[in-house]
Structure 1
Amino acid sequence: MKTTLDELQAFTAVVDTGSITAAAEQLVQTASGVSRALSRLESKLDVTLLRRTTRRLELTEEGEAFLAQARRILAQVEEAEEHMALRRQKPAGRLRVNAASPFMLHVVVPLVAGFRERYPEIELELHTSDQIIDLIEHRTDVALRLGTLRDSSLHARPLGRNRMRVLASPAYLAAHGEPTSVEVLQEHCLLGFTHPETLNHWPLRHAQGDSLQITPTIKASSGETLRQLALAGVGIVYMSDFMTQADRTAGHLVELLAEATREVHQPINAVYYRNTALASRITCFLDYVSQSLKDEDWLQVG
C-alpha cells in the first residue's frame, strides 16, 4: 500500500478544518509537515484532491470520491485500535450465553472451569433452548447455533463444522441385527426429532435418491434424549459427532451404512448484536472457545 495513514489523516483534517494551518494545529504538527503530506498523497494517487486558492481550499471531484474512502479506512483503524484497547483491559461483568442443550452439555460445560480461571470477573449465565430464540427478548448476549443461519441483522462468527452419522449401540444390533442396506432401514426402530423436520431427512443414498425421509418410531425434541435412547439400545439414530465422539471411541455407539452416507457437516456459528460495552466479554469468550476446540477431532474448521 503506497498511501500512509498519516497522509489520510492530513487530508481529512484539512477538509474538516478548512485550512492547512488549522489542520496542523488539530494534528499537533507543523503546517509545512501537513502540506508535504498532502502533496505526497496527491503525487502517489496522481490526482488533485484539493484546489488551493488564496482564500480557501476546495475539494475536486476526485477529492470528494477519495474522501469517503479515506474516512472509512480511518474509522476501521480506529475501531481496531479500540478493540485491542478493550482486550488489554480486564474484562468483567455478566455474559449470557445460549445454546441447544446438547451443545451446552457436551461442548460448553467442559470449557467453563478453564474460562473462569482465565477470566474470573466475567459472570457467566448459561441458558439452553432447543429452538432458535430472539436474543433481545431473552436478554441473551451471544448464542451458539448449529446449522445454516437465517438472514438476520445479527453478527455471526463461524466456529467450525460438525459431521453427523447414522449410529446404533452394539446391544441394539445384537438384538435386531445390523441393517445391510438403506432399503431395510425402515424395518428398524428409528429415533428422530419432533422438530425441525429437516433432521429427519437422513443423507443416505438409495435407489430413489440420495436422501431418506424417515418416519421415526420414537420422537424427541432434544438430541441428548435421542442419544440416551440410542445408548440404551432402543433404536438407530442420526446424530452429531460433537455429541457422540466419545461414545464411538469407547465402542458404545457404532456407525452404520457408512458407504451409503453422504457427508453432511453442520456449520457452527456464534451470533450476537454489536455492543461496545459487551465487545470485550464476547470476544474473550469466543476466542477461548475457538482456541479450546481447535484440537477436537469432531470439529472441522475452514
Structure 2
Amino acid sequence: MKTTLEELQVFITVVDSGSITAAATQLGQTVSGVSRTLSRLEQKLATTLLRRTTRRLALTEEGSSFLVHARQILAAVDEAEDQMALRRQQPAGRLRVNAAVPFLLHVIVPLVAGFCRRYPKIELELNSDDQFIDLLEQRTDVAIRIGTLRDSTLHARPLRSSCLRILASPAYLEIYGQPKTVDDLTNHCLLGFSQTESLNHWPLHNAQGERLLIKPGMMASSGETLRQLALQGIGLVCLSDFLTWQDRQHGNLVQVLVEQTLPERQPIHAVYYRNTQLSSRIVCFLDYLVEQMTWPD
C-alpha cells in the first residue's frame, strides 16, 4: 500500500479542523510538515484532494470520495487495536466521549479519577456540545444523549433516566413569592432554552390540559447556564435531577409546584455507530458509568 496511516490521519484532520494551521496544532506538527504530508498524499494518488485558497480549503469530488474510505480505514485500524486490547484483557487506547456540558460537568467529570485508576491504559478525551453532533465527522466513539432519541441510524444503550423538576432559589422565592398554580407562572421570570423549543415544554398542564410551553423571560443554550441563573435568583427553571439534585440537597434550589408537576423522566442513552462488537474501551466506560452514576430519584 503506497498510502500511510499517518497521511490518512493528516488528511482527515485537515478536513475536520478546516485548515492546515489548525490541523498542525491538533496533531502537534509544523504547518509546513502537514502541508508536505498532504502534498505527498496527493502525489501518490495522482489527484487533487483539496482546493487551497488564502481563505479556505474545499474538498474536490475526488477528495470527498477518498475521505469516506480514509475514515473507514482508520476505523478498521481502531477496531483491530480494540480486539488486541480485549484479548489481553487490558483495555487501552483513546476513547473519545461527547456529552452536553451539564452532564459532562456534573456526572462524568466526578467519575474520571476512579475510572482512570481502574483502567489506566485508556486515554479519555472528553468533548462537550449542547447540540447533537455527527459522530463520524467529530471522530467520536460514544456520545451521551439526554431525552428522546431521534437518529435511528445509531445504536443506543440505555444508561438511566432523570426526573424533571421546576425549581427556584430561596432568595428568588422570598422576593417574588412561591407560585401556587400554573397560572401564577405568568407573574414570574421563567428561564428557558434558546435553541431547542422542546426543552421549553415544562411537565405541567396548561388550561387546555396540554403540556405547558413557556415563554421564557431569559434564555440560554446550556442547562448549566440556566442552573447558574436560577442559583443567582434570576427566575424559575425546569431542569433534570442529574444536574440539580445536590443543589436541592443543600437547599440552594427549591422545588415548586410539586403537586402539579407531571411525573416525567428524561431517558439517558449512550449512542455509537459500531455495527460490530463494541470496543472494550466503550464497554468498560459505559459499565463504569452505570455502576457509579448516583442521584436520588
**Could you tell me the TM-score, scaled by structure 2's length?**
0.69
Name the counterpart of 1:297: 296
* In 2, Cα distance between equivalents of 1:153 and 1:115: 29
- State the identity as a percent: 63
What is the letter of the counterpart of residue 100 of structure 1? A
Name the counterpart of 1:207: 207
Name the counterpart of 1:74: none
8 Å CA contact 1:97, 1:143 repeated in 2 = yes
Q: CA deviation at 1:87?
A: 6.9
Name the counterpart of 1:263: 263
* In 1, Cα distance between equivalents of 2:235 and 2:288: 36
Alignment CA distance shift 1:286-1:264 (3 Å): same
8 Å CA contact 1:191, 1:217 repeated in 2 = yes
Q: CA deviation at 1:179?
A: 0.9
Name the counterpart of 2:249: 249
Larger Rg: 1
- Name structure 1 gaps, 5 residues minimum: 1-81
Report the aligned-residue RMSD: 2.0
- 3-state SS of paired residue (2:242): helix
* In 1, Cα distance between equivalents of 2:239 and 2:109: 19
Name the counterpart of 2:105: 105
* In 1, Cα distance between equivalents of 2:211 and 2:150: 22
What is the letter of the counterpart of residue 189 of structure 2? C
> Aligned pair 1:178/2:178, yes or no?
yes
* In 1, Cα distance between equivalents of 2:125 and 2:143: 12
Q: CA deviation at 1:180?
A: 1.2
8 Å CA contact 1:201, 1:211 repeated in 2 = yes
> Aligned pair 1:158/2:123, yes or no?
no
Greater CA deviation, 125-134 or 210-219? Answer: 210-219
- 3-state SS of paired residue (1:291): helix
Name the counterpart of 2:73: none
What is the letter of the counterpart of residue 114 of structure 2? G
Q: How many residues align?
A: 216
What is the letter of the counterpart of residue 99 of structure 2? A
Name the counterpart of 2:216: 216
Q: CA deviation at 1:242?
A: 0.4
- Name structure 2 gaps, 5 residues minimum: 1-81
* In 1, Cα distance between equivalents of 2:106 and 2:87: 28
**Structure 1 residues 248-278: Cα deviation after superposition (integer angstroms, max 9, x where no partner):** 0111100010111101111100001216696
Runs ≥4 in structure 1, deviation > 3 angstroms? 275-278
Name the counterpart of 1:283: 283
- 3-state SS of paired residue (2:269): strand
Q: CA deviation at 1:207?
A: 2.8
Greater CA deviation, 162-171 or 207-216? Answer: 207-216
Q: CA deviation at 1:205?
A: 2.6
Name the counterpart of 1:35: none
Name the counterpart of 2:149: 149
* In 2, Cα distance between equivalents of 1:261 and 1:134: 34
8 Å CA contact 2:164, 2:203 repeated in 1 = no
What is the letter of the counterpart of residue 296 of structure 1? W
8 Å CA contact 2:241, 2:295 repeated in 1 = no
Name the counterpart of 1:58: none
Alignment CA distance shift 1:87-1:219 (3 Å): farther
Name the counterpart of 2:226: 226
Correspondence 1:29-178 to 2 at 5 A: 86=86, 89-178=89-178
**Structure 1 residues 137-188: Cα deviation after superposition (integer angstroms, max 9, x where no partner):** 1110000000111142221100011111000000000011111111010110
8 Å CA contact 2:195, 2:221 repeated in 1 = yes
What is the letter of the counterpart of residue 296 of structure 2? D
- 3-state SS of paired residue (1:152): coil
**Could you tell me the TM-score, scaled by structure 1's length?**
0.68
